[in-house]
Every structure is written in structure tokens, then in C-alpha cells.
Amino acid sequence: MKTKIFEASIDDREMIQIPKSVLEEMGLKKGDSLEISYPVPTEAIERCMRIESSFHSEEEQDGYLCIPNELMEQCGMLNKKVHMICFDEEITITTSDKLCELVPEAIMQIFKEHGISQEEVAKGIAEAREVQ
């Protein structure tokens, strides 16, 4: 099973607003319930990233890579969105900010003008680098 990431917003009533296209893709309709999980940085002692593989069934996808919060803090990555990029015999863990530094400022401005978030750009870069 492939995981997709999307951005949602919080409205004035403190309700999570999920884009209509995402709701349709997920097959959700008004009144459906969702279960949302999220990291709790103040209580967590490490940051765990799910490792998914197309070679395993959903039941077998229980592998996680956990990095101690102390190390994430030393790297300036604690509480930031991170991406794990897998190459042949190499794994790179970096932040969205660092990935977006690879894109010229003028190009980032064009993305912004077209409603493409920094996180979407970073995710695209991470996915493209994995394919190489």
C-alpha cells in the first residue's frame, strides 16, 4: 500500500479542512469518521519513520526507523518535516527546507504563485531523487 501526503488547513471553527479531491480519492463522505495519528514531540523520546516496501504485504509493513530526539535536535531537525531518500547503498535524511534550497529562488516563487507549497516541492524532489 502506498501512502500519500496532502496538506489540510484548520478553519475558524478549529475544524480540519481536507481538500475535496483528497476526500473523493479516499472515498470519504460527510459523516464518515477518521482516525488520525500524530507525533507528540514533548512526550516522544525518538522520531520514528515508517519504512514501507512494495515487496511486503500490508500486515508485514511494521518496520520503523527510529532516531533519538537528542540526535534530531543536534541536527536542527527536531519538530521539522523530514524526508528519507533511499539510494543504492545510501539513505539520506533531510528537511524540507534543505531540499528546497536545491531549487533556485525564482523557481520557488513560481511554485508559490501557482499554489504549490514548499512541502509539495520538497516531496517531489525527494521522490525524484529516489528514482535516479
Bridge partners of 67, per DSSP, are 47
In the chain, % of residues over pLDDT 70? 73
Cα of first residue to Cα of last residue in the chain, in angstroms, is 22
**Using an 8 Å Cβ cutoff, are 44 and 50 in contact?**
no
Angle CA(28)–CA(59)–CA(132) in degrees, nearest 5? Answer: 85
Most confident segment among 11-15, 44-48, 96-100, 125-129? 96-100
Q: Is the pLDDT of residue 40 over 80?
A: no
Helix axes 118-131, 105-113, angle to 10 degrees: 120
The percent of residues above 90 in pLDDT, for the chain, comes to: 11
Q: Which residues contact 122 (CB under 8 A, 6 or more apart)?
A: 81, 83, 95, 96, 97, 99, 100
* Claim: this prediction has a pTM higher than 0.75: no
Note the pLDDT of residue 21. 86
Task: Round to whole Å and give the CA distance between 46 and 48.
Answer: 6
For 59-98, b/e burial (b = at least 16 CB within 10 A) is eebeeeeebebeebeeeebbeeebbebeeeeeeeebbbeb
Determine the average pLDDT of the residues in 48-73. 61
The predicted pLDDT at position 110 comes to 94
